[in-house]
């Protein structure tokens, strides 16, 4: 019997703790448990044998921490020895399985930590390769606090073997993982990655897991795993003891089994006695049934978005088609513009954000990957990866934290051949366009035929119908008066007869017509009434949101119309809005900046531009405001957040001015490169310096954090920067700053180096060869102004 057969037919009993057993057998503090695979294999084998005798179907080899970060080049040896101990023990029993056990690497992935996703994948691969070679029957990924790290481990496993995978995360009593993942998001992401079983281990007692296991079981189409601790830890006479005895543990485990757990075992504090009691208390022949829940769902790292209930809004703003500002932002690498679009759409009520960066002159693969990661750092909405480049799609799907929505596949064979393997590997729901090699069928019937073809082809990859969302293509009604009707007929059939979810890029319908929102919102209402599950729209459009909120109230998705009432009372009429704007105008741009009022500053700048030249607005209002604030900061009559709020307000005003200004808004010649040095991931200080310098009209090139010395030098040479600002927060990275300065002196001796950061002072800065130490952002501005004077 294989492990997959066992999993299919019955309850599976896992083993209990290894660490607890090793401590009892005298593992000295400070010795890594995996060392004993080599030095005390007899003890390891004996512990496995005890668990097998207790009735465990699966034993976890002693390889939890056997990774290159801890064991370096000895990793393979330690893993192989661990698997061998387990296999020797299991060989005396029938139908027992050895799992290669893999825990967290103990390092946090970016953006929270410093470990890159691909680095994590490669580290996991070494352990997994060694385990596979040594003959493991399955891979058990457990005790993961971060679902992103778990994804890296799963991708690694899939790329080096085809062994079954069981994946478990640590949840807190609040029902979330440490990085904020809900049970639903975990199930969605892990099912997308096609593991064999998924669930929860460690941290909680069995009774505390019941709610989480139940939530997982209700939605999952896979077996659920529960491996709790023996209650909560406490101390008696300096020894760690857990609150539940073996009998109590077995009793509480029955609750988990009733809640849907099909794969059960013990984590910290459990021993062979616990597993024996657990085995004895279970009726293994009647496992909780597992069936296809047929859910159309995507997720971020925190939550899921389900299709088929209340219609889903997909924000369309991050797509350069017809958007001059976004095109500029993409070309210049101005990620902040894109991030602000993301946050704004979230605030306006989008459930998912479309991300499309397709421009002929940029490296789409690289830019899309960067945007996906950066956007996931500012919003926890699920994303729709929108590209026609398979390479860009793969990279983005790989790095995405969650189960993405993929836009798109079509009935074209070539496109299906490229997209479906990616969905199979990384998971995802896919927007499927009902067009093929012959174009878009004129009739609804033709579009339905293509939809059926796509369903069939997807099935060849094991992609379920529920992971396809059909877009029946809204085309310009100005060119074809039946365009709206055909799209809606097709979507009605697909939704109600084929039972699949549907989506439309709503605004295409009004192409070529004036006042497009009128047509768009009416078409949107028609489509919603006929079964539209999701719409790609502009969430900034009042007409569209109005239609959506009204639809929810009218179609029973808004209990007591509370959502509608909340929305309607938040919308001010256009007459009132104008009055508000006017009173803001009285404040004056300078006042708005000094007070740090962002919206008002932008509004005032817009007003002023009606009567004044852009440069006059900058020199007559913004710069005096910044000077006043800067001076107050230096006099300590205002403090850091106020300085920054003013800087943000000034930036908002600059944005307005830039859009009216064809030439460079930056009046200054000096260019500045800023970076947090290699080894340092703290960048708040550096970002503050950047914001202020930009306010003062300097051109700033921000290299980010953890920047290698040569990259700093290259940027200075490439940009011709006159000043290079380096920041270090940690004592350990002062050396790295020294290295960077040394290299700058060798390769571009004319650049002035500013050193800053928490560990710096004037003495240190001089010692490592910086031109000046600046204690804060204002000091850096003052220094750059001096340098600017030397230039002119």
**Helix 75-90 and helix 41-54, axial crossing angle in degrees, nearest 10:** 40
Nearer to another protein, 394 or 739 (CB): 739
Neighbour tally for 418: CB within 10 Å: 17
Asked if 258 and 247 touch (Cβ cutoff 8 Å), the reply is no
Tokens of 554: 């009218």
As measured in angstroms, the least distance from the Cβ of 680 to another protein is: 8
**Rounded least distance, CB 641 to another protein, Å:** 5
- Distance between start and end Cα atoms, the chain: 82
The least distance separating another protein from the CB of residue 176, rounded to whole angstroms, comes to 8
DSSP 464-501: -GGGEEEE-----TTT-TTHHHHHHHHHHHHHHTS--E
Cβ distance to another protein smaller for residue 172 or 462: 172
Pick the closer one to another protein by CB: 272 or 596. 596
Helix (H, G, I), strand (E, B) or coil at 306: strand
Which residue number, 177 or 188, has a Cβ lying nearer to another protein?
Answer: 177
Report d(CA 454, CA 632) in Å as an integer.
65
Closer Cβ to another protein, 173 or 391, answer by number: 173
466, two tokens = 């529920």
Residues 472 and 496: their CA atoms lie apart, in Å, by: 14
The residue (of 378 and 554) whose beta carbon lies closer to another protein is 378
Work out how close the CB of 12 gets to another protein at its nearest, in angstroms, rounded to a whole number. Answer: 23
Residue 351 has phi, psi (to 5 degrees) of: -95, -25
Nearer to another protein among residue 212 and residue 444 (C-beta): 212
Distance (Å, whole) CA 348 – CA 152: 33
Q: Is residue 254 within 8 Å of 282, Cβ to Cβ? A: yes
- Which two structure tokens, joined as six digits, stand for 531? 């079964």
Q: Which of 685, 717, 695, 714 is nearest to 781 (CA)?
A: 695
Beta strands in 677-751 (DSSP E): 699-702, 723-727
Residue among 89 and 99 whose Cβ is closer to another protein: 99
Q: Quote the least distance from Cβ 397 to another protein, whole Å.
A: 22
| Residue 130 in tokens | 């060694």
**Which DSSP letter does residue 262 get?**
E
CB of 756 to another protein, least distance (A): 15
Helix (H) or strand (E) holding 320: none
Task: Give 151 or 425: the residue with its C-beta nearer to another protein.
Answer: 151
> CA dihedral in degrees (266, 269, 272, 274; nearest 10)?
-70
Query: Which residues, listed in sequence order, are joined to residue 315 by a DSSP beta bridge?
Result: 353, 537
Phi, psi of 730 (to 5 degrees): -110, 145
CB of 160 to another protein, least distance (A): 24
Smallest gap from residue 450 Cβ to another protein (A): 41
CA atoms of 137 and 7, how far apart (whole Å): 13
Choose between 218 and 380: whose C-beta lies nearer to another protein: 380
Residue number with CB closer to another protein (27 or 290): 27
Enter the tokens of residue 22.
């090793």
Q: Cβ of residue 379: shortest distance to another protein, in angstroms?
A: 8
Q: Whole-number minimum distance, CB 119 to another protein, in Å?
A: 12
- Of the pair 134, 375, the CB lying nearest another protein is at 375
Among residues 156, 289, 276, 315, the alpha carbon closest in space to that of 224 is found at: 289
SS3 (DSSP) at 351:
coil
CA distances from 525 to 310, 541, 548, 552 (A): 13, 14, 8, 10
How far apart are CB 220 and another protein at their closest, in Å? Answer: 24
In angstroms, the CA 715 to CA 711 distance is: 6
Q: How far is the CB of 778 from another protein (least distance, A)?
A: 12
Sheet with strand 723-727: strands edge to edge? 699-702, 671-676, 723-727, 752-756, 772-773
CB of 407 vs another protein, minimal distance in Å: 24
Least Å from the CB of residue 405 to another protein: 22
- 788-792 long-range Cβ contacts below 8 angstroms, 24+ apart: 788/668, 788/669, 788/670, 788/698, 791/669, 791/670, 791/722, 792/669
User: For residue 774, which phi and psi values (nearest 5 degrees)?
Assistant: -115, 125
Q: What whole-number distance in Å separates Cα of residue 197 and Cα of residue 8?
A: 10
Beta carbon of residue 690, minimum distance to another protein (angstroms, whole number)? 8
State the minimum distance, in angstroms, from the CB of residue 524 to another protein: 29
| Min dist. Cβ of residue 632 to another protein (A) | 8
CA 72/CA 152 separation, integer angstroms: 19
329 contacts 337 by C-beta, under 8 angstroms: yes
Q: What is the smallest separation between the CB atom of 181 and another protein, expressed in angstroms?
A: 10
> At which residue do the structure tokens 């999993």 appear?
7
Nearest 5°: phi and psi at 55?
A: 110, 15
Measure the CA–CA gap between 504 and 483, rounded to whole angstroms. Answer: 13
Give dist(CA 175, CA 212) in Å, integer.
6
Tokens of 351: 């459930």
Nearer to another protein, 339 or 754 (CB): 339
* Cβ proximity to another protein, 464 vs 595, nearer residue: 595
The site for another protein (CB under 8 A) is made up of 19, 29-30, 103-104, 106-108, 111-114, 143, 145-146, 170, 172-174, 176, 178-180, 202-203, 232-235, 238, 240, 268, 335-336, 339-340, 343, 374, 377-380, 595-597, 632, 635-642, 644-645, 647-648, 679, 681, 683-684, 687-688, 691, 730-733
C-alpha 195/C-alpha 464 separation (Å) is 15
- Of 94 and 636, CB closest to another protein: 636
- Taking the least distance from each CB to another protein, the nearer of 277 and 690 is 690
* Complex with another protein: residue 5 or 731, whichever CB lies closer: 731
Please say which residue, 683 or 739, places its beta carbon nearer to another protein.
683
Please give the Cα distance from 63 to 47 (Å, whole number): 14
């Amino acid at each position: 019997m294989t492990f997959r057969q066992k999993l299919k037919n019955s309850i599976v009993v896992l083993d209990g703790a290894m660490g607890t057993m090793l401590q009892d057998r005298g593992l000295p503090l400070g010795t890594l448990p995996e060392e004993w695979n080599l030095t005390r294999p007899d003890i390891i084998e004996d512990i496995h044998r005890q668990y097998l005798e207790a009735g465990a179907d699966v034993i976890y080899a002693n390889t939890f921490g056997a990774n290159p970060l801890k064991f370096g080049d000895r990793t393979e040896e330690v893993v192989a020895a661990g698997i061998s101990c387990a296999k020797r023990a299991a060989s005396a029993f029938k139908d027992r399985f050895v799992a290669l056990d893999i825990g967290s690497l103990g390092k946090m992935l970016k953006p929270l930590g410093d470990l890159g996703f691909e680095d994590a994948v490669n580290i996991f691969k070494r352990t997994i390769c060694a385990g596979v070679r040594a003959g493991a029957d399955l891979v058990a990924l457990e005790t993961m606090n971060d679902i992103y790290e778990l994804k890296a481990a799963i991708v690694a496993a899939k790329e080096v073997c085809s062994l079954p995978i069981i994946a478990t995360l640590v949840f807190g009593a609040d029902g979330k993982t440490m990085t904020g993942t809900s049970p639903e998001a975990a199930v969605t992401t892990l099912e997308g990655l096609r593991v064999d079983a998924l669930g929860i281990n460690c941290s909680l007692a069995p009774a505390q897991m019941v709610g989480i296991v139940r939530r997982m079981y209700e939605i999952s189409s896979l077996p659920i795993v529960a491996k709790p601790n023996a209650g909560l830890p406490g101390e008696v006479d300096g020894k760690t003891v857990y609150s539940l005895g073996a009998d109590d543990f077995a009793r509480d485990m029955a609750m988990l089994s009733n809640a849907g757990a099909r794969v059960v075992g013990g984590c910290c504090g459990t021993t062979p006695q616990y597993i024996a009691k657990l085995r004895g208390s279970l009726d293994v022949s009647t496992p909780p049934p597992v069936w296809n829940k047929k859910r159309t769902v995507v997720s971020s790292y925190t939550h899921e978005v389900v299709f088929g209930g209340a219609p889903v809004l997909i924000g369309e703003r991050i797509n350069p088609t017809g958007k001059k500002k976004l095109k500029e932002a993409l070309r210049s690498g101005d990620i902040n513009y894109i991030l602000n679009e993301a946050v704004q759409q979230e605030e306006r009520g989008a459930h998912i954000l479309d991300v499309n960066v397709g421009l002929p002159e940029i490296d789409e693969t690289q830019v899309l990957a960067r945007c996906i990661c950066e956007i996931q750092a500012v919003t926890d909405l699920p994303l729709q990866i929108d590209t026609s480049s398979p390479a860009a799609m793969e990279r983005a799907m790989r790095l995405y934290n969650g189960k993405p929505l993929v836009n798109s596949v079509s009935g074209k064979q070539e496109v299906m051949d490229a997209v479906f393997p990616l969905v199979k590997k990384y998971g995802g729901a896919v927007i499927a366009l009902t067009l093929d090699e012959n174009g878009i069928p004129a009739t609804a019937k033709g579009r339905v035929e293509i939809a059926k073809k796509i369903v069939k082809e997807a099935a060849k990859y094991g992609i379920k119908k529920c992971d396809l969302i059909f877009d029946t293509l809204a085309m310009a009604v100005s060119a074809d008066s039946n365009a709206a009707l055909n799209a809606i007929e097709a979507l009605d059939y697909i939704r109600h007869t084929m039972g699949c979810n549907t989506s439309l890029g709503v605004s295409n319908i009004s192409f070529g017509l004036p006042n497009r929102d009128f047509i768009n919102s009416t078409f949107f209402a028609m489509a919603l009434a006929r079964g539209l599950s999701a719409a790609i729209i502009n969430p900034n459009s009042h007409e569209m949101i109005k239609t959506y909120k009204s639809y929810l109230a009218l179609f029973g998705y808004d209990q007591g119309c509370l959502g509608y009432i909340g929305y309607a009372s938040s919308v001010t009429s256009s007459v009132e809005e104008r009055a508000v704007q006017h009173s803001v105008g009285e404040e004056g741009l300078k006042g708005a900046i000094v007070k740090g009022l962002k919206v008002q500053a932008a509004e005032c700048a817009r007003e002023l531009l009606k009567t004044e030249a852009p440069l006059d607005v900058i020199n007559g209002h913004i710069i005096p405001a910044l000077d006043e604030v800067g001076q107050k900061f230096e006099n300590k009559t205002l403090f850091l957040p106020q300085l920054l709020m003013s800087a943000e307000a000034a930036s908002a005003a600059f944005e307005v001015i830039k859009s009216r200004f064809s030439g460079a808004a930056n009046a200054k010649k000096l260019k500045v490169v800023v970076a947090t040095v290699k080894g340092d991931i703290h960048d708040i200080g550096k970002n503050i310096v950047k914001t202020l310098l930009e306010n003062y009209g300097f051109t700033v090139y921000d290299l980010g954090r953890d920047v290698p010395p040569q990259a700093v030098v290259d940027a200075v040479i490439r940009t011709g920067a006159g000043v290079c600002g380096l920041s270090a927060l940690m004592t350990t990275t002062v050396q790295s700053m020294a290295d960077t300065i040394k290299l700058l002196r060798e390769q571009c001796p004319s650049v002035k180096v500013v050193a800053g950061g928490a560990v710096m002072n004037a003495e240190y800065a001089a010692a490592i060869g910086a031109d000046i130490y600046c204690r804060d952002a204002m000091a850096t501005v003052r220094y750059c102004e001096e340098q600017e004077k030397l230039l002119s």
